[in-house]
Amino acid sequence: MRVSTLLPLVAAAPALALPSLFKPFTPPTEIATQAFDTAVSWVHSALSGAQNKWDDLETSISGDLSVAKVQMNGIEYLSLTHPAFPLHRLRVVKPELCDPNVNQLSGYLDISESKHLFFWFQESRHKPSEDPVMLWLNGGPGCSSTTGLLFELGGCNIADKGANVTYNEHSWNSVANVLYLDQPVGVGYSYSDSGEVNNSPAAAEDVYAFLSLFFSQYKEYAKQDFHISGESYAGTYIPNIASVIYKNSLALQSNLAPTPKLPVINLKSLLIGDGLTDPYNQFGSVPDWACDKTKSPYAVYSDPEGAECVSLRAKAARCQALVSSCYKTGSRFSCVPANLYCFSGVFGDLQQLGYNVYDVRKKCDRSEDKDGPLCYKEMGWMETYLNTPEVKAELGAPDHITFQSCNMNINRNFLLQGDGMHDAASLLPALIEDGIRVLIYAGEADMLVNFLGCEAVLDNLKTSYSGAFAKASKKDFVTTEGDVAGWTRDAGNVAFVAFHDAGHMVPHDDPVAALTMVKRWLKEKPLAK
């Protein structure tokens, strides 16, 4: 890992960035949508579980819809295509690993001739027909959401150096139908034949394309509440994705969309964990987190007026000046210098302290035979497991794809577009004012995207709830087991939770508390108990 330009969850090295080669998603025509509807009941029967995966297959259906078994790379998929929707195809298999007692889908959405997004869907363990649908995204940029499934909140946990998985009793599919999406293309099992995405707005269009087609196929889920969740660089992804969904939903509801029969995605809330959303205020918080023990229980410097802290304040101020320029212009020429300086300048000395920057309660030896480049041996275990030929075949991933927990080329491309220095938080007020709730949460031991900065994202949002949130007092956050796991503040449609015993990856570090939070949030119950 090159520590000079660390980004959330991964580091990147400077290189030439590739321009985006992809056009925005074009919705299918009404004819295609109606044709897809013809196959919904059949597709649902496949999901519900015939004895043989494709026992109910019909190779010819009225209309122009083509529903067939296809063989690609030695894998049999269910394929749905339509001539009015020529660049899009859904290829699905039904895996039975990880959490075999629930219905699962995995495979690809081919959203052009060259882009293929991998997804893995796990139904709720309890009430799949009633529980909401949740999309989970990991960050990076360039880190696979499949790692979130196997390491944090999915139906199973990676184990035995990648030779096995174990049941996760605290999985978030205890309360929701969870959809994990490897995006943008090039991340995890997702792949592209001719180029890569290098910015969050373009990635958001691809995610909207995926969701539109997924809910077109599985309309029973389209009727349920939908929530977007994720961590780290997903703090940038999520506002962009939510904004695209919101704008398209308004157009659909106003009969202004070119394809009025597309499903309206029932977006209800956003859950952002330790996310990079407002870099100006978040980088500005680093000196307080690192130097002031009255504000941060995990401050790494003992003397707030010492040379290290004086230097850190100066670097944070310089970073904020550069970010401010990026906010004003949105230009790559101002945003890239901000991106490079803020991560290298502000975190340069902090990284040399030897801590795990994602959880300073731990040290980190980045050698391959110790903690590994990302400070977690399990990242390598997941690569071992997910590159096993049998696992690939079960999930519908081509054998020629090499799974990486984090793709450094994607990381570099986003870095050198200055993408992470844009004000993603500015996209949130319109959503909040129209009833979409926003929860930001963070682990207090996270150095890289610290909890003070995450709280500051909400403190600086300009909404009708701003005054009430500023006056909101901290209340204990108590788990279902009766433990005080942190504290929370809330007002109207916005809320914040800080976790005492967690770092960057809260569902991994404190799974009981994380699941408690999700249960209450999805049911719109008070977070403080």
Q: Which of 474, 12, 503 is nearest to 300 (CA)?
A: 503
φ, ψ dihedrals at 55, nearest 5°: -55, -35
Q: Which of 20, 174, 232, 285 is catalytic?
A: 232
Please report the sign of the dihedral spanned by the C-alpha atoms of residue 237, residue 410, residue 144, residue 406: negative
Tokens of 426: 């500015």
Q: Which of 116, 422, 504, 508 is catalytic?
A: 504
**Residue 75 to residue 398: CA distance in whole angstroms:** 8
Tokens of 57: 């297959």
- How many residues in the chain? 529
Q: Which of 99, 110, 371, 446 is catalytic?
A: 446
Q: Which of 410, 430, 414, 412 is nearest to 422 (CA)?
A: 414
**Residue 489 to residue 487: CA distance in whole angstroms:** 7
Whether residue 181 contacts residue 137, with contact meaning beta carbons closer than 8 Å, is answered with yes
Q: Residue 383, exposed/middle/buried by CB under 10 A (0-12, 13-18, 19+)?
A: buried
Q: Residue 157, exposed/middle/buried by CB under 10 A (0-12, 13-18, 19+)?
A: buried
Distances (CA, A) of 29 to 65, 116, 259, 369, 529: 13, 21, 6, 53, 49
- For the chain, the maximum distance between any two Cα atoms, rounded to a whole number of angstroms, is 76
Q: Is the peptide bond prior to 184 cis by the omega test (within 30 degrees of 0)?
A: yes
Q: Is 365 a catalytic residue?
A: no
Q: Is 400 a catalytic residue?
A: no
Strands 484-491, 475-478: parallel, antiparallel or unpaired by DSSP?
Answer: antiparallel
Amino acid code (one letter) for 316: A
- If phi over 0 gives left and psi between -120 and 50 gives alpha, with beta otherwise, what is residue 222? alpha
Whether residue 262 contacts residue 209, with contact meaning beta carbons closer than 8 Å, is answered with no
Whether residue 414 contacts residue 236, with contact meaning beta carbons closer than 8 Å, is answered with no
**Residue 522 to residue 229: CA distance in whole angstroms:** 11
Q: Is 232 a catalytic residue?
A: yes
Active site residues: 232, 446, 504
